[in-house]
A = this chain, B = another copy of it.
Amino acid sequence: MIQPLNIVPFVSVDHMMKLIHRIGIERMLTDIAGYIEEDFRRWEIFDKTPRIASHSLEGVIELMPTSDGKLYGFKYVNGHPRNMKAGLQTVTAFGLLSEVATGYPVLLSEMTFLTALRTAAMSALAAKHLAPRQAATMAIIGNGAQSEFQALAFRALMGIETLRLYDVDPAATGKCAANLARQGFAITRCATAMEAVEGAGIVTTVTADKQYATILTDNMVGPGIHINAVGGDCPGKTEIHRDVLLRADIFVEYPPQTRIEGDIQQLPPDHPVTELWKVITGAAPGRSDARQITLFDSVGFAIEDFSALRYVHERIREAGTYAELDLIADPDDSRDLFGMLMRAAPAQAPAGVSARNDR
């Protein structure tokens, strides 16, 4: 630690955008995928728990903690489908890392951008292990806030340069196409989801605000493709028709969470799925057949956020993209919290006595 322990480095939204531009977004997506891969290889040492959700009529607020025994991390994230109509983000997030040995925080960070990055990095990392090698075209169904990040991650990790875009709202597709054309992608805007999947070796579904929607039906899915199912991510929210799931080999992050939140909530609780970390370590096969349909039922797991926070924590010092937060009271005598408070009294403090933290 460079700072005193009472000071916690804070990465604001502005800092995060500066960090992304400094590193370069595709490089950062690749780096974060590398950190996730590293953490998935040591999956078994992590303290794992399904996210802790507080549901309301309007949405859900969740805490996602995990620990590798040295660092502890958690993310606060909300999911409010109706927010978009009020001009708010459907998903916002922030997160924290702390030292397991002391419990003292070492990083507080915005995670709206960081979640977008880690979700895309996770998708592309899964595809690296599951998608057909020759895939050159990706369909993106759902062209909202996550769509561009998915495209960039798949170019960075998989070399995907050609995109077929579809959204129920043509304005969303227009926005996504304009953003990605500037990034040099070859883009086809499609009038239907059926049209979007034509010739695509990878199909990414990343829609929002749907109740048991069926974005991909059985007739749309040919042999040999990889489906990156990102949008079905909470109870009652799915994207993929059950018949597609039954034809596919399904890969998941953390089964106890995905059974509740993922597209496989439509299947019996004992339907076979493969944990992605086992594919990454080689303990389980990934794609084994050119005609096989692989499906990554992505819901987002705490370890991915941990990996992303760990990466940011290691990079902010060189980049200088953080502020210092006076978050932890740290009196000189740890038993004298009250004395620290009394010394900070405005009238009683003699000249020269700092009213800030004791150290």
Contact = CB atoms under 8 A, between A and B. Distances in A.
Interface in A295-351: 325-342, 344-346
Contacts of A90: 334
A67 B61 CA distance: 10
Interface string A136-156: 000000011111110000000
A115 to B, nearest CB: 10
A58 interface: yes
A67 B17 CA distance: 32
Nearest to A5: B88
A101 B86 CA distance: 11
Interface string A105-120: 1000010110010000
Interface stretch (A92-100, A210-218, A223-231): A92-100
B326 A13 contact: yes
A179 interface: yes
Taking the full assembly, how many copies of this chain does it contain? Answer: 2
A355 B17 contact: yes
A341 to B, nearest CB: 6
Name the prevailing secondary structure of the A interface residues: mixed
Given A329-B89, A334-B83, A337-B113, A101 B58 contact: yes
Contacts of A5: 88
A179 to B, nearest CB: 5
B113 A96 contact: no
Contacts of A52: 49, 52, 63, 65
Given A145-B336, A337-B116, A341-B17, A102 B88 contact: yes
A344 B58 contact: no
B149 A338 contact: yes
Contacts of A335: 84, 143-145, 172, 175
Interface of A: 5-6, 10, 12-14, 16-18, 20-21, 25, 47, 49, 52, 54, 56, 58-61, 63, 65, 67, 69, 72, 74, 76, 78-80, 83-84, 86-90, 92, 94, 96, 98, 100-105, 110, 112-113, 116, 143-149, 172, 175, 179, 182, 325-342, 344-346, 355-357
